[in-house]
A and B are shown apart, each in its own frame.
Chain A
Amino acid sequence: MSTPHPLAPEARLLAAHDLAGLILALAIVGIPHALRAPWWLALLTLALYGWRALVFVWRQALPPRWLLLVLALVAMFGVWIEYRTVFGRIPAIVLLLLFSGLKLMETRTHRDAAAVVFLCYFLLITNFLYTQGIVEALVMCLALAVITVTVVGFSAPQRSLQANARSAAMLLGHAAPAALLLFLLFPRVQGPMWGLPQDAQSAVTGLNDTMTPGSVAELAQSDALAFRAEFAGPLPPPRQRYWRGPILSEFDGRTWSAAPTLLAEHGPRLRGGTTVRYSVLLEAHHRHWLFALESPAQRPPRANFSSEGHLLASAPVRVRLRYEMVSITDGQPDSGEDAGLLRHALRLPAGYNPKAKTLAGEWRRASAAEIEIVTRAVDFFRKSNIAYTLEPPPLGHDSVDEFLFSTRAGFCEHFASAFVFLMRAAGLPARVVTGYLGGDPNPIDGMLTVRQSDAHAWAEVFLAGHGWLRIDPTAAAVPARVESGLARAVPASGALPLLMRQELQWLRGMRYNWEALVHQWNVWVLGYNPERQRDFMSWFGMPRADWRDLAAALLGTMCLFAAVLLGWSVWRRTRPDPVQSAWLRFCTKLDARGLARAPHEGPRDFADRAVLSVPSSAPTIRRISDLYVALRYGKAGAPSEVAELKRLVRTFNPA
């Protein structure tokens, strides 16, 4: 028994086509990682793949272990220099890529090859930490196909590639329904189960809870998706598409930041207005706030209203989140407000922007009512002729003064910041609101797509007896920004994101189609979370399904599936051969006439004997035996011949 088991993977050496399959699979799963990894590491990994191929072609010995160990240590040192750690998520993934090359260098048998295949799976899944689009899914399918063909080749080394590909296709075809079932019914748990590493949310573009001159302009140059909204009724007009986000009421002379959050029992109280129903599919931004059209009238599950009237999720939005919303547009706001909050909304740092303070003081003295101050301010912006640009000039110490009186060019955050400063200086409680304005309606599926390039900042002023009023100083100065979006408002300067440019209409058309597809993908594949799973189950009459119901449904369906398969195979086995059963019936008919077929007697001999005793049906008997012989022992017969045999036997009557 000392001979190695010939089917054990450790006993079978790697063949040329196995190695080729492995390298191809590694290349497919490794390319996305290689594009992100430091160039030297990507190159090193590629060199290792090439080296392994050459070692095979030239029939050299594999390099010794110590050499690989030295290589690994040197590369790890390089990674440490690059990232100052080797334990973070990104360095770990980069090292995984490198180890795939190192493991390939010591791959001798199918056992090592199986380890490389497992590494491929890990490289595939770690890529999803970065991106989970349709393209990535297709690449995953391609990689799985290559891997499966290769693995089938391991266990059948003598088979042709076509035969192995056929087997792999059949395996994947059988795996797909099971995978779909598992995907739909496997009880989903909302992660994370343990703390995410510190770098889990690195470099997500989106609104921040601070605002400095230039920060929104920078954000507005990104085409990245912020969220999508699907409206039950018609789209609200562009001037109502204010998506309220973080509210900034602290100012230190340069930076606006959010005040400590206080939760409120209810949202803003409104009188009148129009009710708008819609749902939002929010991209993960790793912050608490949820976006809603001004003003939200209800709160989604696991979210609260803040005292400033915007929505906060109870946990940071780490995965794409879908929520249903109702908003009331153009309502009359409630006139009451907490006195402490109003005092807060008047504070200004001392020693900044003297010119603006003087201007605000003049307005205050000249106005009879608070509303008049606001009108004067809006008027001031309307007539100011300040340029609206994505590339605002840098500002110094007195940022508001410089913006209003010397540089006279800025983006929405400059307008909002200056306006709120003026209002506070004039003694009116005011605050900066950041969020998004507008959105791009997709003609294909009617979804409103809101991108980072729609980021906007505006102001809210509290007027006694009126409550908080939204004032958009940018809209006053540049009305086109509200009605037609960023692209028409900003002079064509080249700083616009590609998809915002007017001249590329055909590109937008293609983009609309693609985005409609991506939206379905996001909702049904990426957004398939515990809630969606419950919705899905309620279609099948299982509302409020918990994990036990799901497990039962999963097992039940699988058992049903297995039972159907089993029944089918049993039926196929026991189904009698029609040719044989027709022949047996023929024999029974002759037997009834006293003409039994002897066990040793072949069909022709039996027919000869039958013709002698029933000469009247000789042609029929001959034809039946000929057909039987041809169908049973010859090449596959035509269905018409089988039918003829059956008909002849049925009508056969040995008189």
Chain B
Amino acid sequence: MLRALRNHPRWLNWFYGFTPPERGTISLGHRRVYIVPSRLGWMFAGTLAILLLGSINYALALGFALTFLLAGLGLAGMVHTARNLALLVVSPGRAEPVFAGEAAQFRLLLENPSRFDRPSILARHVGSGAQLVVDVGAGSMAEAVLAVPAARRGRLALGRVMLETRFPLDLFRAWSYVEPDAHCLIYPHPLYSALPASGAQAQGGTAQAPTRGNDDFSGLRDYQASDSPRHIAWKTVARTGNMLTKQFSEDTAEELWLEWQRVNPALGLEERLSVLTGWVLAAEQGGARYGLRIPGNEITPGRGDAQRAECLQALALYQLP
């Protein structure tokens, strides 16, 4: 029963001082910074006890002075350890989508609004154990990138992150939990197979991969920020220093429909999504114009990173809330 109570979310929320997930920036108030002596701290306390007994027994005035200075040092260390974490501002950064089976790179921005630096802060992802030690300089920011393994497609919530520090004396361990509202889009794990034949009615998905996309080069134009790096005319850039983008004639490229129905129906839902993911990647790689048709969603043919991202997102979130 106690265990049930201990894991009850409302009790936990009260205990940790916040209700997850937390939107926006999170300032670690004193209320949510916990501190206990570390093992070294207990050993230090034992040492102090021996020093105190020795000072009393041998009436060592300087022994008292040493003992009390060390005790004061321990107290100051406690305050400094808590201070190293308290009032730190945590905000989630952008997490680029990854494929299932890879590690989602969650970025946490740690901002130090104080005039002192905060060294040796450990950010540890509670669920996966991914961890990283960062130093946050006075009045500046540091980024902690937590590599959280993503097993399944969909939206992966970051979950609970523990921030811990033992600076400056190692005698105390201060920690705090945050659960920022950070998500990472996880695309289905791609299964690479041959692309379906072009043409709306081709069946079976066994046609050879189109290679003509690269041949439809129609000229160069000025680079724009949204252009795929793959289409930049790097040779020209190297020669002239001008950023130019290769243009392909859209009219000459065939439209390729990647369709749910074309995937081998014997496969399960996730495998079918994986095959479609592989097709999207292959089609984009091949430079074709492609569209995606899955039950309840249709993406008109296009090309480029935006098209690829849109298709992959549709696959990632298929039948998910």
Binding site for B on A (CB under 8 A): 1, 3, 6-7, 9, 110-111, 114, 118, 121-122, 124-125, 128-129, 132, 136-137, 140, 144, 148, 151-152, 154-156, 158-159, 163, 167-168, 170-172, 174-180, 182-183, 186, 188-194, 196, 200, 318-319, 525-529, 573
B152 interface residue per 8 A CB criterion: no
On whether the beta carbons of B58 and A196 are closer than 8 Å, the reply is: yes
Residue count of chain B within 8 Å CB distance of chain A: 49
For B77, the chain A residues whose CB sits under 8 A away are: 171
CA distance A111 to B44 in the complex (A): 12
Contact status B165-A7, CB under 8 Å: yes
Report whether B53 and A193 are in contact in the complex, using a CB–CB cutoff of 8 Å. yes
Q: For B75, what are the chain A residues with a Cβ–Cβ distance below 8 Å?
A: 174-175, 178
Interfacial residues of chain B within 27-60, with CB under 8 A of chain A in the complex: 40, 43-44, 47, 50-51, 53-60
Q: Which of A114, A121, A525 contacts B61 (CB 8 A)?
A: A525
Q: At the interface, yes or no: B166 with Cβ under 8 Å from chain A?
A: yes
Q: Quick one: which of A114, A175, A528 contacts B72, CB cutoff 8 A?
A: A175
Tell me how far the C-beta of B111 lies from the nearest C-beta in chain A, rounded to whole angstroms. Answer: 16
Among B67, B69, B129, chain A packs the most CB atoms within 10 A around the CB of: B69
Nearest A residue to B129 by beta-carbon distance?
Answer: A1
A6 near B56: Cβ-Cβ < 8 Å: no
Q: How would residues 103 to 126 of chain B score, 1 for a CB under 8 Å from any chain A CB and 0 otherwise? A: 000000000000001011010000
- Give the residues in chain A near B166, CB-CB below 8 Å: 7, 155
Q: Contact: B135 with A158, CB < 8 Å?
A: yes
Contacts of A156 in B (CB 8 A): 119-120, 135, 167-168
Please, what's the 1-or-0 string for B166-210, where 1 marks a CB less than 8 Å from any CB in chain A? 111110010000000000000000000000000000000000000
Contact call B169/A144, Cβ cutoff below 8 A: no
Set of chain B residues within 8 Å of A7, measured between Cβ atoms:
120, 122, 133, 164-166, 173
User: Could you give 17 example pairs across A and B, Cβ below 8 Å?
Assistant: A1-B129, A6-B133, A7-B122, A7-B164, A114-B170, A132-B62, A137-B62, A144-B66, A155-B119, A172-B73, A174-B79, A178-B76, A179-B69, A179-B71, A182-B72, A528-B61, A573-B87
Q: Give CA–CA (A559, B6) in the complex, Å.
A: 32
Instruction: Determine whether the beta carbon of B167 is less than 8 Å from that of A140.
Output: no
A527–B61 CB distance below 8 A: yes
- Does residue B302 face the partner (Cβ distance < 8 Å to A)? no
Complex alpha-carbon distance, A633 and B282, angstroms: 49
The complex places the Cα of A18 from the Cα of B76 at a distance, in Å, of 22
Selected contact of A3 from candidates B65, B69, B71, B129, CB within 8 Å: B129
Check if B59 sits within 8 Å of A318, measured CB to CB: yes
For the complex formed, measure the closest distance between the CB of A46 and the CB atoms of chain B, giving whole angstroms.
24
**Cα-based distance from A94 to B87 in the complex (angstroms):** 48
Say whether B72 contacts A186, CB under 8 Å.
no
Q: Is the CB of A114 within 8 A of B40?
A: yes
Known: A118-B43, A128-B58. 4 other contacts (CB 8 A): A118-B47, A122-B50, A158-B135, A163-B119
**Nearest residue in B to A171 (C-beta to C-beta)?**
B76
Bound CA span A122–B131, Å: 37
- Asked if B66 and A121 sit within 8 Å, CB to CB, the answer is yes
> A158 contacts B119, CB within 8 Å?
yes
The reply to whether A183 and B68 form a contact with Cβ atoms under 8 Å apart is yes
Asked whether any CB of chain A lies closer than 8 Å to the CB of B63, the reply is yes
Q: A121-B51, A174-B79 are in contact. Are A129 and B135 (CB under 8 A)?
A: no
In B73-101, which residues have CB < 8 Å from any A CB?
Answer: 73, 75-77, 79-80, 87
Q: Does B70 contact A (CB under 8 A)?
A: yes
| CB pair A194 B57 closer than 8 Å | yes
**Interface presence of B248 (CB below 8 A):** no
Is B234 in contact with chain A by the CB < 8 A criterion? no
B69 pairs with A171, CB closer than 8 A: no
Q: Are A154 and B71 in contact (CB under 8 A)?
A: no
Query: Once bound together, how far apart are the Cα atoms of A606 and B151, in whole Å?
Result: 50
- Alpha-carbon gap, A163 to B56, bound state (A): 37
Q: Is B64 an interface residue (CB 8 A)?
A: yes
Given known pairs A136-B62, A525-B65, the reply for A179 and B168 (CB within 8 Å) is: no
- When each residue 129-141 of chain B gets 1 if its CB lies under 8 Å from chain A and 0 otherwise, what string results? 1010101000000
- Kindly report which residue of chain A lies nearest to residue B121, judged by CB atoms: A7
CB distance from B31 to the nearest CB of A (A): 13
Knowing A121-B47, A175-B72 are in contact, say whether A167-B63 is a contact too (CB < 8 A).
no
Give Cα A188–Cα B57 distance, bound, in whole angstroms: 11
In the assembly, what is the distance between CA of A193 and CA of B62, in Å? 18
Given known pairs A155-B168, A158-B135, A182-B71, the reply for A174 and B76 (CB within 8 Å) is yes
Do A529 and B59 contact each other (CB < 8 Å), given the known contacts A7-B122, A163-B117? yes
* Closest residue of A by beta carbon distance from B118: A156
Indicate if the CB atoms of B122 and A191 lie closer than 8 Å: no
A529 to B61, CA, bound (A): 8
How far, in Å, is A526 (CB) from chain B's closest CB? 4
Identify which of B50, B57, B70 contacts A191 (C-beta below 8 A). B57
Query: What 10 A-B pairs are tightest by C-beta distance, nearest first?
Result: A175-B72, A178-B72, A174-B76, A182-B68, A179-B72, A156-B119, A319-B59, A175-B73, A179-B68, A526-B61
Partner of A183, one of B47, B58, B64, B70: B64
Q: Is the CB of A3 within 8 A of B131?
A: yes
In the complex the two chains form, is A171's CB within 8 Å of B169's CB?
A: yes
A128 and B59 form a contact (CB under 8 A):
no
A192 to B54 Cα, complex, angstroms: 9
Pairwise interchain contact B80-A171, C-beta atoms closer than 8 A = yes
Distance in Å: Cβ of B161 to nearest Cβ of chain A: 15
- Is B135 a contact of A186 with CB atoms below 8 Å? no
Chain B residue at smallest Cβ distance from A126: B54
Give the distance to chain B from A427, nearest Cβ to Cβ, in Å: 48
Q: Which chain A residues lie closer than 8 Å to B71 at the CB level?
A: 178-179, 182
Bound-state CA distance A271–B170 (Å) is: 70
**Residue in chain A with minimal CB distance to B130:** A3
Q: Which of A148, A170, A191, A526 contacts B62 (CB 8 A)?
A: A526
A1 cross-chain contacts in B, Cβ below 8 A: 129
Most A CB within 10 A of own CB, among B43, B72, B80: B72
Find A6's partner among B64, B122, B173 (CB 8 Å cutoff).
B122
The residue among B59, B61, B64, B73 with the most chain A CB atoms within 10 A of its own CB is B61
Selected from A114, A121, A152, the residue in CB contact (under 8 A) with B168 is A152
Complex Cα–Cα for A193 and B56 (A): 8
Give complex CA distance A186, B70 in Å.
Answer: 14
Chain B contacts for A9, CB-based, 8 A: 40, 170
Residues of A within 8 A of B50 (CB): 122
- Quick one: which of A7, A151, A527, A573 has the most chain B CB within 10 A? A7
Determine the residue in chain A with the shortest Cβ distance to B166: A7
Q: Are B165 and A186 interface neighbours, CB within 8 A?
A: no
CB distance from B132 to the nearest CB of A (A): 8
In the complex, A1→B69 CA distance in Å?
Answer: 38
Please give, as numbers and ranges, the residues of chain B lying within 8 Å of A527 by CB-CB distance: 61
Q: Within the assembled complex, what's the spacing in Å between the Cα atoms of A643 and B62?
A: 52
Nearest chain-B residue to A125 (Cβ)? B63
Contacts of A176 in B (CB 8 A): 69, 72
Bitwise interface map of B from 211 to 240 toward A, beta carbon under 8 Å scored 1, else 0: 000000000000000000000000000000
Query: Which residues of chain B have C-beta atoms less than 8 A from A140's C-beta?
Result: 62, 65-66
The answer on a CB contact under 8 Å between B56 and A189 is yes
**Residue of chain B at shortest CB distance from A148:** B73
Q: Which of A125, A163, A526 has the most CB of B within 10 A?
A: A125
Question: In the bound complex, how far is the Cα of B70 from the Cα of A176, in angstroms?
Answer: 9
Residues of B within 8 A of A191 (CB): 56-59
B contact residues around A132 at 8 Å (CB): 60-62
Q: Which residues from chain A contact B63 at a C-beta distance below 8 Å?
A: 125, 128
| Residue of A with least CB distance to B61 | A526
Closest to B53 in A: A193
B51 touching A125, Cβ below 8 Å: yes
Closest B residue to A526 using CB positions: B61
CB distance from A200 to the nearest CB of B (A): 8
Question: How far, in whole Å, are A125 and B75 apart by their CA atoms in the complex?
Answer: 20
Bound CA–CA A167/B76 (angstroms): 11
Q: Are A155 and B68 in contact (CB under 8 A)?
A: no
Cα A131 to Cα B61 with chains together (Å): 11
Contact A114 B58 (CB under 8 A): no
